[in-house]
Amino acid sequence: MEAHLHLYEMMLSAAKPMALKAAVLLNIPEILATRGRENPLTVDEIAQHISASTKNKVPQREYLFRILRLLAFCGVFTEDIDEQIKQLKYGLNSVSKLLVKEGNRDSFVPFLMLAVDKVYLDTHHHFRDAVLEGCHPFVKVHGTSPWEYVSSNAEANKLFIQAMACHTKDVMASVVKMYDGFKSVRSVVDVAGGVGSALSAILGQHSHIKGMNFDLPHVIATAPAIPGVKHIGGNMFDQIPCGDVIFMKWILHDWDDDHCIEILRKSYEATPKDGKVLIVDALIDGSQGSLNRLGLLFDIHMMISTMGGKERSEEEFSQLFFKVGFKSYNIIQLPFLQVLIEVSKF
């Protein structure tokens, strides 16, 4: 029976991210952050506020309750009984606070909306095709690579950039805090740096650094002006601008080994003999821990939404580094799924 229950839970777990999406679209985190700041709200109170915020009729109470009940059970909202009125009340906790959009620099909503976007969810129906045909599910569904799709679709590009910037804030705060190598660095090139969020965090603590944000022209076209940062459009497979440090966050996991070797080779050529490459990426370690479980989920996501991308083990990373000519590397554990890998020529 335990095996049956385990399978049922796996089969029906797709409801979890969609319930999160529904809660965000219904403005529930915002409602609880403003109207329920002092005291949690009942389902009826939340329904009334949803109606006011959406300028629509009062929503279906039963459906709303069932979504709230599931998310509370999953640890997203608090759920407590008000003994005076004999009704359940719902409030924010540390998880649902990340779903508040307005005025919240820590909001994780952009990443959530990318993860549940139909463009990427549709690729989940082609696991079997990937195995039997060796195809890339994203290409099979959309007829083009993910990068070409994003570059030709303004809304998709905006969603992707916002999601990456969302992830960058938390990770870069830890990178800047835990890595002391920036103190002696004169220039940093952020490869595929999006709109410059990572460099903004680095220069915020190390203003002496000359920053170069390097990405495809259509991405650079949306990048805001950042003091100390020069935005450069180009292709990392052609040439990478020279700098003391080449920085890459969540880039290598987008590509297969051959493309990673090419990116690393261009990075090797762009740095001086004492230069370094800093890589922020997940590390699969084979353990049964929650971080490794998350890493395996990301690995499947990369399998179906990129053209050969994957999460790697330390051994797989080291093979890439040494094939290019790098001599050593050092891994710095971050309080996230990702680690910081410092790769050196010496």
Tell me which residues are annotated as active site. Answer: 253
Do the Cβ atoms of 141 and 118 come closer than 8 Å?
no
- What lies within 8 Å, CB to CB, of 328 at 6+ separation is 343, 344, 346
In the 8-state DSSP scheme, what is residue 60?
-
Q: Taking the CA of residue 324 as centre, how many other CA atoms within 13 Å lie in the half-sphere pointing to its CB?
A: 26
Q: For residue 16, give the nearest of 138, 126, 112, 123 by alpha carbon.
A: 112
C-alpha span between 179 and 175 (Å, rounded) = 6
Phi-psi region of 81 (alpha: psi -120 to 50; beta: other; left: phi over 0): beta
CA distances from 51 to 41, 55, 323 (A): 15, 6, 60
Do the Cβ atoms of 234 and 214 come closer than 8 Å?
yes
Q: For residue 257, give the nearest of 303, 183, 306, 317 by alpha carbon.
A: 317
Q: For residue 30, give the nearest of 104, 125, 138 by alpha carbon.
A: 104
